[in-house]
Structure 1
Amino acid sequence: MKAIIFNSGLGSRMGELTREKPKCMLTLYNGETIFERQIRILSECGIREFIITTGPFEEQLIQMSKKYNTLTFDFVPNKEYLSTNYIVSMNNIKQVTEDVLLLHGDLVFNKKLIHKILTNENPSICLYNEEKELPEKDFKCRIEQGKLKEVSVDLFDTECFAFQPLYKLDRQQMNAWQSEVSNLVNKEIKDVYAENALNTISEQLNIVAMSYKEDYIDEIDNEADYNRVSEEIKNYDYREQEIIESNNYMNSLEKVLKTSERCNILVVVGKSLRDKVEKDLGSISKQFVFFSEFSSNPKYEEVLNGVKLRKEHNCDVLISIGGGSTMDVAKCIKLFSPLVSLSDFIKKEFRYNTIKHIAIPTSAGTGSESTQIAVIYKAGTKCSVEHGSILPDMAILDPNLLKTLPTYHKKSTVLDSLCQGIESYWSKKATEESRYYSKQCIELILKSYIAYSNDEEVVLEDMLRASNYSGKAINIARTTAAHAMSYQLTSNYGISHGHAVALCIIPIWERMNQKSKDNKELEQVLKSLATVFNTMDIEESIEVVKGIIMEFALPKVRINENEIVELVEEINMDRLKNNPVSFSEEELKELYCVM
């Protein structure tokens, strides 16, 4: 099957955004252009040949296509793009000799939708949405007995539905459409949609209508569409991250790597695990390079050394095996790798790249395997690096890897996961979906934390899932004041991240409860959170978490009063702004004092 993509339009409604490039070259939230996204998803679903119609910016598309060494591109120009519609572009394509996937170049869609289309038993399919409101200016369709009968922007009656111009067509259906397109173009009817030709022969065709209501597909016509679609597609991408639950990570990893054409692999692993991992990977016939020269609070310069090693060995796959810091190092290696200059990488405008990242967590705390967030230190300052392209492509969750965690790290990672679940629930950015993940995280921890701290292996799977849910939750909602205030405690007092957050969570929660008396919206959120803990009120839910922290009996930390001013100055303001209520400088000092 070939893909035919129409990219011959001017994109005039986009204004300055498309003055010097085609619409398909606009960049989405993860630094990937619409064109790159379409090619990536379609090729991952098995399509290797592409026909691209072009208009005013053909050379840009040709140059972009050159990076796809294993794919074939045929460019079909429409020299009349200024005065005609894409019916002429379609007429310029030779009669196809195989089945096709035909789509517009400004469509953004999720990968599962394409998989559903290609695996659907019907040879010819179009897409409609029976739940979406009819758009004013975009395509609608008329469906009769499950078959497509008409496509137009002017349909508004009750038998019509929202429609997106992406079709799977067998050769016969496509040839019939092409022939009718030629008939109209030969009559000098060139300023209409290709669908005008389709409508005249729809009774002869057999195009089955498939609903896309559970998936995402939308076209970008103007700047408002661009901003909306780029934001909306994110959560579909998050949900489609491949998660493999396994009792033997090596078996799962070997299966994944056997199906990959990629050969050179950089393994990011901490020094304490390196010997074991090197031995485990010895049976897989791939070229592995190992990087372990980073600290538990990874430094910017250490990441750059990883970037250099990856480039030296031309590694196109990253595997991170370890805790949150290990995965953060791998994420930053991926993100920084395409940049040419070794100047300040953190301030660069990052782009999507095709380096694949498989994350394998060995602790149940950060959920970093399912976030687009990484933390590194530069000149002693903690830097949060966020970008849509660093969400790992795959996570392998093997509970057996939790068995050797030291007791202190086991307890502190549970607290980190629990605090992430709590903070993402009350976060300003919380959504229904993020709160679902928060709830799953909290409930699993409440169910299993005692057994986990007592080294009962039966609950390892639950704790690993809880951690992963916490990562999914903060990936959407982000963390809040407790995390913002914890970072410098980790540096100043040499305690783990989870330990530091646990010191902060109770004083902040109690202060927020006080403020909720005059803030009905906050009170409602905190009461809702209390139901997740299966408690009657806010105070009782706070006591539950306070009890867990006391039960874990982590080492005491005494905050030096002389350091409080410095601690307040070093608070991560981005995280603090995400808190549902603000705290004054004096309040922040008070909170540190009571920890």
Structure 2
Amino acid sequence: MIIETNKFILKSKVYFNTESLQLLKELKGSKAFIVADSIMDKLGYLQKTIDYLSEANISSKVFTGVRPDPDVGVVTEGLKLYNESDADIIVALGGGSAIDTAKGILYFAEKVEKVQGANTDRPQFIAIPSTSGTGSEVTDFSVITSEGEKICVIDEKLAPDIAILDSTCIQHVPKHVAVDTGIDVLVHAIEAYVSPESTDFTDALAEKSIKLIFENLEAVYIDTKNEKARDHVLNASCMAGMAFTNTGLGITHSLAHAFGGTFHISHGRSNALMLNAVMEYNANLSGSANDYATEKYAELAKILQLPARTKREGAVNFIDAVRKLKKRLGIEDNIKALGIEESDFKNALEQMAKSAMQDRCTPTNPKKPSKEDLVKILEKCFGHTSRF
């Protein structure tokens, strides 16, 4: 007899709040391989990390070749240094690109070992995010670019063992980055909440994450030195990561991967530009508006104390609340406002829709799209009126 069950996995130990970076002094090990972005080096956090590890008698080898949207070439460079390090600890320090690079190194290191017939122990993996956005410090997801296309890699072994959420690491983030990464948190939480794989456990995390973003992201945008708001947004990011690593994501991410990779727009901003059109599609607002996603969006409206006497009213008000939040954060209304030529966009439409259909995030969208549906959503995101 086969028993159908749901499961909730939380592999990472999470340490949080200001100055939690000092936990590194208490680690056990001998050699660390640190994957850090150049910003964390310039701001002194890389040296601080090395110093804390030194206090634990752990030596460090450093790779700072991280680039935005890391590709296979960057991972290969890091992998070569990692193989020379003989490290029993790997530390990812920086934004989503640094953590994705470290995950890519771990992923391909294991593949190489299997080919060579080696059987070495996996190093302890510690992630220290410098942006509130990806939730990558607790997820088994990594996005690596190959031949200009973003590839989503999912493997349980990619989830860090320890996540350190020290909001002092994000206090120097520029406003536009704080906005992009903060909206990315919101998208993670919303897509986890409406995923067909959602559970009571993931819903609780997603609901809290969404509430924290609505209450605190604007305060961070106004003043990135607001320590309390920073803590809340960073915690929201981690909670959303815990949720979506168990539920998967949806076509907001699939389309953002395709669009961002094509036009070199940041992942968070790409998500922001796709979000509302995708929610309108999922909620079937031009039809019965009585779908599963409609009901879930209406529940989020209630959590934000918005009118939700019917499912349609709740979904409409939640979607509108997201639109208003984006406007207060200075996010463009549509893709056209970015200055992208309509002819260039049209020429890329078919390929972007095809890529999004094949994306690993598409199967867990609450409504199964066709390629034609994705084309219509992209056209609406550009600035055209479209009925789904």
TM-score w.r.t. structure 1 length?
A: 0.57
Partner of 2:323: 546
Q: Does 1:243 align with 2:28?
A: no
- Aligned pair partner of 1:282 in 51, 57, 61: 51
Distance 1:547 1:534 in 2: 15
* Shift, 1:509, TM fit: 1.0
Distance 1:279 1:548 in 2: 37
Q: Does 1:568 align with 2:353?
A: yes
Distance 1:265 1:498 in 2: 30
Computing the radius of gyration from Cα coordinates, the structure with the larger value is 1
* Shift, 1:565, TM fit: 1.7
- Aligned pair partner of 1:492 in 239, 262, 284: 262
Aligned identity (percent) is: 23
Distance 1:474 1:352 in 2: 30
With over 3 angstroms needed to count, the CA separation of the structure-2 counterparts of 1:463 and 1:518, relative to structure 1, is closer
| 1:469-528 residue CA offsets vs partner (Å, 9 max, x unmatched) | 111111111110100111122122222101001111101111222267265434332322
Q: Confirm or deny: 8 A CA contact 1:243 1:397 kept in the other structure.
A: yes
Q: Does 1:291 align with 2:63?
A: yes
| 1:236-264 residue CA offsets vs partner (Å, 9 max, x unmatched) | 5x1x5211114214422112x2xx1x211
Partner of 2:378: 592
Q: Confirm or deny: 8 A CA contact 1:375 1:385 kept in the other structure.
A: yes
With over 3 angstroms needed to count, the CA separation of the structure-2 counterparts of 1:341 and 1:242, relative to structure 1, is closer
AA paired with 2:51? G
AA paired with 1:235? F
* Shift, 1:319, TM fit: 0.6
* Shift, 1:341, TM fit: 6.7
Q: Which has the higher contact order (CA 8 A, sep 6+)?
A: 2
What are the within-5 Å matches in structure 2 for residues 222-241 of structure 1?
235-236=8-9, 238=10, 241=12
AA paired with 1:590? K
Alignment length (residue pairs) = 358
Distance 2:155 2:262 in 1: 28
Partner of 2:36: 269
Distance 1:433 1:380 in 2: 36
AA paired with 1:510? E
| 1:186-216 residue CA offsets vs partner (Å, 9 max, x unmatched) | xxxxxxxxxxxxxxxxxxxxxxxxxxxxxxx
Distance 1:249 1:321 in 2: 14
Partner of 1:135: none
| Higher percent of residues as helix | 2
Partner of 1:332: 104
What are the within-5 Å matches in structure 2 for residues 492-531 of structure 1?
492-514=262-284, 517=288, 519-531=290-302
Matched position secondary structure for 1:581: coil
- Aligned pair partner of 2:233 in 463, 467, 473: 463
Aligned-residue CA RMSD in angstroms?
2.6
Matched position secondary structure for 1:340: helix
| 1:272-303 residue CA offsets vs partner (Å, 9 max, x unmatched) | 22242342123523210001113111111221
Matched position secondary structure for 1:583: coil
Matched position secondary structure for 1:587: helix
Give structure 1 regions of 4+ aligned residues with deviation exceeding 6 angstroms. Answer: none
Distance 1:522 1:313 in 2: 48
Q: Confirm or deny: 8 A CA contact 1:415 1:498 kept in the other structure.
A: yes
AA paired with 2:249? T
With over 3 angstroms needed to count, the CA separation of the structure-2 counterparts of 1:523 and 1:543, relative to structure 1, is closer
Partner of 2:385: none
Q: Confirm or deny: 8 A CA contact 2:71 2:146 kept in the other structure.
A: yes
Matched position secondary structure for 1:288: strand
Q: Does 1:310 align with 2:93?
A: no
What are the within-5 Å matches in structure 2 for residues 321-400 of structure 1?
321-340=93-112, 353-400=121-168
Consecutive unaligned residues in structure 2, runs of 5 or more: 308-313, 382-388
Distance 2:20 2:64 in 1: 20
- Aligned pair partner of 2:249 in 461, 473, 479: 479
With over 3 angstroms needed to count, the CA separation of the structure-2 counterparts of 1:471 and 1:492, relative to structure 1, is same
Partner of 2:306: 535
AA paired with 1:450? E
Matched position secondary structure for 1:266: strand
| 1:396-415 residue CA offsets vs partner (Å, 9 max, x unmatched) | 11111111001111100010
* Shift, 1:450, TM fit: 1.9
Q: Confirm or deny: 8 A CA contact 1:409 1:496 kept in the other structure.
A: no
Distance 1:551 1:298 in 2: 30
Matched position secondary structure for 2:360: helix
| 1:298-323 residue CA offsets vs partner (Å, 9 max, x unmatched) | 11122122222112120110011111
